[in-house]
Amino acid sequence: MKRIVVAIIGITILTLSSCQKQIETADYQVVPLPKEISLTDKKPFILDKNTVIECQKDLQKEADFLADYIEDIYGFRPRIMDAENDMNNVIYLALEPNDFANDEAYQIVVNERVIKITSRNNHGIFYGIQTLRKSFPVDNNVTKIAFPAGVINDWPRFAYRGMHLDVSRHFFPIDSIKVYIDAMVMHNLNKFHLHITDDQGWRIEIKKYPKLTEIGAWRSGTLIGKTMAYDTIRHGGCYTQEELRDLVKYAEDRHITIIPEIDLPGHMLAALASYPELGCTGGPYEVWKRWGVSEDVICAGNEHAMQFLEDVLLEVMDIFPSEYIHIGGDEVPRDRWKECPKCQAKIKELGIKADDKHSAEDYLQSYVMSRMEQFVENHGRHIIGWDEMLDGELAPNATVMSWRGSSGGVKAAKMHHNVIMTPNDYLYFDYYQTLDTDNEPFSIGGYNPVKKVYSYEPIPDGLDEDEHKYILGPQANIWTEYTSEFNVLLYRLLPRIGALAEVQWCNPEQKDYEDWVQREYRLTKLYKLYGWRYATHIFDIDVRITPNVKEGFIEVVMSKLVDGKIVYSIDNQNDIEYKEPLRITENCHLEGYVLRPDGSQGRVFRTDFDFSKASMKPIVLMEQPHKNYTFNGADVLIDGLRGSTNYRSGRWLGWYGKNADVIIDLQEVTEVSTVKFNLNINMKDWIFNARSVKVLVSDDGDDFEEVFAQDFDLLSADYTGSLYPVEITFSPVNTRYIEIVITPFDCPECHSGYGYPAWIFVDEIGVY
């Protein structure tokens, strides 16, 4: 097959009479974009109520799906017949031994009499059907659809196209997971990574160990937001083996393989709560109510614990026929193993020695992972593990899932191990999609917009051409610490999965973000048809705000990628059509949105500009922020823009174990009596309020006099806010230079970070 993108030769133009207004034209520009679309000016195929689906006997299931899709959209269901010679008004599905690129490649040929979908495998037929389905105009008033004549040739770039779901932190019923699979189907994904056990809940029935679901599937409460307080609501649930077998079949029918994950030897508190004898200390343990990494892990020196893991994997493999079984291996503290007599005896028995790269306990984890790999291999399967498996000796046939960036994937590929790329900075969908976090579902944090997902390249730098073959493909992950409702889960997934689909399916030279947005916008009509909630940010107004500190104004540039006009207002006055960039020089409230041709209004962008005597003035940082939270430097603090609840948004500066100490040059002697700023509070992430604040003034910038000093109490553990405003007043004083010193706390005894400094995040220092 010739692997190039063929230019469109011609597009059929239909001249419709008044009695033919129920005809609409299909559009093959779908998501993901096919490799080759070659159209002609010949007569189109017309799909209507008389259209018949013909197929070979082995393709009956695929034909049923096609009929279902047509019925979903248009309300009529074509008859399905065995393949015949009479090809007139027929959609024909056939397996043919042509020179297809792989088992998932397909060809669609369209002429006046027939739409013919061929492949050498059912997988390819199914993806051809998905392309046809997404080309349908979604309008239930349509009775006839014209399909332009031509040929489509298509195949995926990567054989592994994955999506992950964590059901341990929050439980989702089987019917919801089936909808999740349906969304994967629509976007041509084929691997579903089901994270089914963790510290916060054991979700799979294991018949040999019934307490895993009697006890381990339930927790007595959950961390409230990002505080150190807990609710008392019992949460949990589990899946029977029969339910999971049904789910496996549901996915297989849709050409998706479920890869189960039993996370070991860490993230095992739910198992330890059920069977305390499996841990190093013997407990007592409880199913964890918080997030993060627990020091309590499976006892690697306990033979009964190793037998337990093998027994669990045996029942898991009986349910899931997947070639791969994911066994985790991530975030395993060694603290308990260092103190455990059984683990230390196992280290001695195995002759394990520390070296200049790894501790003996690191190699003890390698022993556990290698033993489990051998067990899985002996049953005809292979393991996948997180990239922490590289911290020691990598099991011989392990596939590495690279989540801590791309470096683990590079290292594993150079060792000639298969790799699945799932870097958190590009492919974690539990991160925020927008910086407007105040108007978003509460999230774990981070910032991973759709455009960034679309920009991802799965073949990392640092590999030679021969090593590329070890990159099986990319996968995106959704962890559910802060996702308890299924409609929020879909909102995190859509439309980012559309961007992921093109990363997985398309060649790099095919990708065009703005073009994809147009195609994805059409696809949202199918989302609406099925009642799937999706994020609309990329279809709404895009606002770029750039402070010009030198000239003392803020530039606002508004843009859009879909049809319509941009409308804005300042301080809720009359709407104005946007024509050119705005210059903001004083306090105001700005709103803007896209007004679409049908009269509908896109999501409203809102922001406040907050100017003070310090705004756009020279500023010096006496202590530098942490390297991960410097963003645009000191100007972040005096640019007139207040940060949202997301401390990673770029509008905050963060100091770790250091004072936030800044000096602002007001450029002339000015009367001041008030200083205001916001702190960002996230106790879970070791971010607290200020221990003390001092204000000093100077006429020359060298000799400073203190005019204010105050100590503060540590916020209580149940403080639920994210933004903590601080306002300081003092007797009016005339000064040119003003210094503000904000001192952080250390983490308190009740906190997981006890013994370490706390963070402090500051934004927009106002002087009045």
What amino acid positions are annotated as catalytic residues?
Answer: 198, 267, 331
Query: Which residues are registered as beta bridge partners of 164?
Result: 193
Task: Give the span between the Cα atoms of 54 and 59, in whole angstroms.
Answer: 9
Is residue 615 within 8 A of residue 553, CB to CB? The reply is no
- 233 φ, ψ (degrees, to nearest 5): -85, 125
Estimate the share of the chain in helix, then strand, then coil, as percent rounded to the nearest 5: 25, 30, 45
Task: Give the span between the Cα atoms of 466 and 414, in whole angstroms.
Answer: 10
Q: Which two tokens stand for residue 535?
A: 């994020």
Identify which of 458, 418, 507, 508 has the alpha carbon closest to the alpha carbon of residue 101: 507
Is residue 570 within 8 A of residue 536, CB to CB? The reply is no
Is residue 231 within 8 A of residue 222, CB to CB? The reply is yes
Report helix, strand or coil for 666.
strand
How is the beta sheet containing 542-548 ordered, strand by strand?
542-548, 553-559, 582-584
Residue that the structure tokens 């896109």 belong to: 602
- Which residues in 565-689 belong to E strands, given as ranges? 565-570, 576-577, 582-584, 588-595, 605-609, 619-621, 653-656, 660-680
Residues 6+ apart with CB under 8 A from 250: 178, 181
Report helix, strand or coil for 20.
helix
Report helix, strand or coil for 379.
coil
Report helix, strand or coil for 307.
helix
Taking CA atoms, 361 is separated from 306, 350, 365, in Å, by 16, 12, 6
Q: Which two tokens stand for residue 118?
A: 């061929």
Residue that the structure tokens 């799979």 belong to: 204
Residue 550, CB-side half-sphere exposure with 13 Å CA sphere: 0
Report helix, strand or coil for 742.
strand
Task: Give the span between the Cα atoms of 361 and 358, in whole angstroms.
Answer: 8
Identify which of 105, 492, 61 has the alpha carbon closest to the alpha carbon of residue 250: 61
Give CA torsion, residues 72, 73, 76, 78, to 10 deg. -80
Is residue 656 within 8 A of residue 700, CB to CB? The reply is no
Report helix, strand or coil for 97.
coil
Task: Give the span between the Cα atoms of 377 and 325, in whole angstroms.
Answer: 10
Task: Give the span between the Cα atoms of 578 and 639, in whole angstroms.
Answer: 23
Is residue 163 within 8 A of residue 497, CB to CB? The reply is yes
Task: Give the span between the Cα atoms of 718 and 227, in whole angstroms.
Answer: 6
Task: Give the span between the Cα atoms of 167 and 86, in whole angstroms.
Answer: 50
* Amino acid identity, position 717: A
Residue that the structure tokens 């990673």 belong to: 648
Q: Which two tokens stand for residue 397?
A: 């046939």
Identify which of 354, 467, 475 has the alpha carbon closest to the alpha carbon of residue 418: 467
Task: Give the span between the Cα atoms of 639 and 568, in whole angstroms.
Answer: 21
Q: What's the longest Cα–Cα distance across the chain?
A: 96
Tell me the Cα Rg of the chain.
30
Is residue 752 within 8 A of residue 292, CB to CB? The reply is yes
Instruction: State CA 234 to chain mean position distance.
Output: 27
382 exposed, middle or buried (CB, 10 Å; 0-12, 13-18, 19+)?
middle
